Structure 1
Amino acid sequence: MSSFLLLSNSDETVWFLSRHDYSNVAEDAFAWNECEQLSIQAATTEDEVVAVSRFWERHVPILLSVRDGYEYLAVRDDGAVVHGAEPEFEEAVVVFSQLEDLLKYIIACPTARNGVVERLLFDDTGRP
């Protein structure tokens, strides 16, 4: 996170969050916790607000996408990388058991791909 300011696809619809994004002074169109904010705004009861807050206490977004609707990758407090999408951001699924596995996957740029991650990270040529 600290080695880059912007790491995105060419049309900037998918991007990894940088240290700058997590700072209180970031003035980007999307906050690092945009999905959490949207879920809280959509909550209709206090119990729903509490459930959303509990979910996001355990998850830190590392990638946001607005390519085909709002999506994210986040690191869960046990180290797993999860994927979530609108409208129910908190219905996340594990895509890698550890962040290190995601990074190795990106570096390897494999031919047999993880569907969710491939769609978010790779273009039609297979390049990140």
Structure 2
Amino acid sequence: MDNGKGKTHIGDFITWAEANGWEIRKKSGAQLHLNSGITSRYKGLPKEYSEFLSVVETCVAPDEQTWFICEADFNHNAEIEFRWNEFEMLSVEAAAGDPAWQSEITAWWDHHLPIVMSVEDGYSFYAIAADSGAIVYGCEPEFEEVEKVADSFGEFLAWMMSNSNR
């Protein structure tokens, strides 16, 4: 039985995702071991998101163009073409030759942890805003110009279930 709000959202989302053709691989144990580079850069991850990462090993949309960034991705143990911070790296590269702009980009990403990536209709992502726990959406060419889609990770999962076209 679950008495935690986050787990209910996570269980509901997993059920919905599996019913809608998402490839969900659950972890065998419910432990989370993020590398220190992630935990030191992004202190105080929302509990619901940490719970999601402790339960879900992979979560990929049916068209394989949208996916959640999971523990193995953050720890560089996944066999994927995109690094978890791919869009940050693209922005920093675009700012080559302008150290102040590069620093501004890095500082922005220091406060926005990407959690979902997509290559459908161009590059886009969802991220957790570290200051509020809100979930924001950004896309190319200006990844750092974002819009809020949910106030929390649990609300984001509910939003995904009701707006399954993204």
**TM-score (norm: length of structure 1):** 0.80
Indicate the RMSD between aligned Cα atoms, in angstroms. 1.5
Aligned length: 112
Specify every segment of 5 or more residues in structure 2 that has no aligned partner in the other structure, as ranges. Answer: 1-52
Q: Look up the equivalent residue of 1:66 and give its one-letter code.
A: V
Q: State, as a whole percentage, how many aligned pairs show the same letter.
A: 35
Q: Which structure 2 residues correspond to residues 26-45 of structure 1 after superposition, within 5 A?
A: 26-44=78-96, 45=98
Q: Look up the equivalent residue of 1:6 and give its one-letter code.
A: T
Aligned to 2:66: 14
Aligned to 1:119: 165
Aligned to 2:123: 70
2:146 corresponds to 1:92: yes
Q: Look up the equivalent residue of 2:111 and give its one-letter code.
A: R
Specify every segment of 5 or more residues in structure 1 that has no aligned partner in the other structure, as ranges. Answer: 121-128
Equivalents in 2 of 1:15, 1:2: separation in Å?
A: 16
Bigger fraction of residues in helix: 2
96-105 or 66-75: bigger deviation:
96-105
Equivalents in 2 of 1:103, 1:5: separation in Å?
A: 16
State the 4+ residue runs in structure 1 displaced beyond 4 angstroms.
none
Alpha-carbon shift at residue 88 of structure 1 (Å)? 0.4
Alpha-carbon shift at residue 104 of structure 1 (Å)? 2.9
Q: 2:106 aligns with which of 53, 58, 71?
A: 53
2:127 corresponds to 1:81: no
Equivalents in 2 of 1:25, 1:48: separation in Å?
A: 30
1:12-48 deviation line (CA, Å, top 9, x unaligned): 1000111111003334200000110000000041111
Larger Rg: 2
**TM-score (norm: length of structure 2):** 0.63
